[in-house]
Amino acid sequence: MLEELETLLAQATTEIAQLTLEADVEAARVKYLGKKGSLSALLRGMGKLAAEDRPKAGEAMNRVKVGIEAALDSAKAAAGQKALAAELKREPVDVTLPGLPRARGHRHPVSQAMDDIIEIFARLGFATADGPELEWDLYNFEMLAIPPDHPARDMQDTFYIDMSTAPAPPPGSPPTRGAQSALLLRTHTSPVQIRTMLAQKPPVRIIAPGKVYRCDSDVTHTPMFHQVECLHVEAGLSMAHLRGTLDSFVKGFFGPGTKTRLRPSYFPFTEPSAEVDISHPACAGKGCRLCKNTGWLEVLGAGMVNPDVLRMAGYDPEVVSGYAFGVGIDRLALLRHGIDDLRALFENDVRFLQQL
């Protein structure tokens, strides 16, 4: 047995030393060390040895294995070196040639719009606030004065989370009572109004950009889209402050010639409420096909914060008042670039995005 092992080692190292191709070295590895290789065959014979001879044989077996492995490794390294040298000879590298330029990307048009909006509001003294995309019914609806049976819920087809498999709410979560404890993908950024007011005392001056979700899909709707919420609460605020802020915002975003117009509307969490139109930047308010010849485009919802909402968030509506609005960022990005299909923004076709 010991002799056989020595012979195997000698034979293997001589043979391996002559190999020049990496593939051949790998084949030799299988031949000698593989499951069905020479060494395994000898190993199987070990059972027939007398018990006192086994340790010695085992030791020799190990030595042979290590020896063959070392031979294989050095043959492999040599073969690799040789292959590289051959490659370099075939295709010499001219290190003085200019490098291949790598195409530079840019931010997505929605991110560009979002960053611009954050910057415009920063100049107006607004901080940026944040909230989770998976939101409590309590914050997305109830504390915005939209109780479970309120018809306004129908305007926002909602993705609810199956609570039967959801983990228990973490400590410090809002009260779990009926629908309030349900989780959903937030349908607007307005719950950040509630989160902010619960977390700090007035005055509040924030914007909250982020993703929102509705069960909607056509040329002007995608199931995921982006909004920016604006909330300003302080003593003595009126509709005039709302108009002033809106005006600075749209002028900052679309240019100084842009006008705003308010039309009466309804949102449960604002009172009074308004739809806000801007003069169509593409036709400078003159009227064209895109704005249905009106010269105006509806871009956002706004209003004075409903006193009930202030009260639910722990603010005193006798002392402070507030205004709020919510803008669809994707719409703004489309308008800015003259795109007419919202879905194109999220198909991530680089040929499309490169143009923006």
Contact 158, 215 (CB under 8 A): yes
Q: Closest approach of Cβ 278 to ligand PHE, in Å?
A: 15
Tell me the C-alpha distance between 326 and 208, whole Å.
Answer: 9
Tell me the C-alpha distance between 161 and 184, whole Å.
Answer: 5
Q: Where in 139-178 is the site for ligand PHE (CB under 6 A)? A: none
What's the CA dihedral at 180, 184, 188, 192 to 10 degrees?
60
Please report whether residue 209 would count as binding ligand PHE according to CB under 6 A: no
Name residues whose C-beta falls within 8 Å of residue 325's C-beta, 6 or more positions apart in sequence.
Answer: 229, 230, 242, 246, 276, 300, 301, 302, 303
Contact 156, 188 (CB under 8 A): yes
Q: Where in 261-300 is the site for ligand PHE (CB under 6 A)? A: 267, 270
Closest CA to 246 of 324, 181, 144, 180: 324
State the distance between the two ends of the chain, measured CA to CA, in whole angstroms.
Answer: 76
Q: Closest approach of Cβ 138 to ligand PHE, in Å?
A: 16
Please report whether residue 302 would count as binding ligand PHE according to CB under 6 A: yes
Q: Closest approach of Cβ 104 to ligand PHE, in Å?
A: 35
- For ligand PHE, which is the closer residue by CB, 246 or 324? 324
Select the residue interacting with ligand PHE from 191, 281, 295, 326 (CB under 6 A): 326
- For ligand PHE, which is the closer residue by CB, 151 or 167? 151
Among 42-50, 145-153, 322-330, 343-351, the segment contacting ligand PHE (CB under 6 A): 322-330
Among 44-52, 69-77, 123-131, 320-328, the segment contacting ligand PHE (CB under 6 A): 320-328
Exposed, middle or buried: residue 54 (CB in 10 Å: 0-12, 13-18, 19+)? middle
Please report whether residue 194 would count as binding ligand PHE according to CB under 6 A: no
Structure tokens at 211: 């993703």
Q: How many chain residues bind ligand PHE (CB under 6 A)?
A: 10
- For ligand PHE, which is the closer residue by CB, 9 or 313? 313
Q: Closest approach of Cβ 334 to ligand PHE, in Å?
A: 17
Pairing type for strands 204-213 and 127-128 reads: parallel
Please report whether residue 245 would count as binding ligand PHE according to CB under 6 A: no
- For ligand PHE, which is the closer residue by CB, 327 or 334? 327
Output the CA–CA distances (angstroms, integers) from residue 239 to 244, 261, 273, in the order listed: 9, 13, 10
H-assigned helices in 91-229 = 109-123, 137-140, 191-199
Q: Closest approach of Cβ 117 to ligand PHE, in Å?
A: 14
Q: Where in 15-54 is the site for ligand PHE (CB under 6 A)? A: none
Q: Closest approach of Cβ 298 to ligand PHE, in Å?
A: 11
Please report whether residue 325 would count as binding ligand PHE according to CB under 6 A: yes
- For ligand PHE, which is the closer residue by CB, 254 or 267? 267
Q: Closest approach of Cβ 274 to ligand PHE, in Å?
A: 8
> Which amino acid type is present at position 71?
A
Please report whether residue 210 would count as binding ligand PHE according to CB under 6 A: no
Q: Closest approach of Cβ 332 to ligand PHE, in Å?
A: 14
Output the CA–CA distances (angstroms, integers) from residue 337 to 222, 256, 281, 328, 344, in the order listed: 18, 17, 10, 15, 12
Please report whether residue 324 would count as binding ligand PHE according to CB under 6 A: yes
Please report whether residue 195 would count as binding ligand PHE according to CB under 6 A: no
Q: Name the closest residue to ligand PHE (Cβ).
A: 326
- For ligand PHE, which is the closer residue by CB, 72 or 305? 305
Name residues whose C-beta falls within 8 Å of residue 152's C-beta, 6 or more positions apart in sequence.
Answer: 146, 266, 267, 268
Closest CA to 61 of 1, 124, 103, 101: 1
Q: Which residues pair with 297 in a beta bridge?
A: 278
Please report whether residue 188 would count as binding ligand PHE according to CB under 6 A: yes
State the residues that interact with ligand PHE by CB under 6 A: 188, 190, 267, 270, 301-303, 324-326
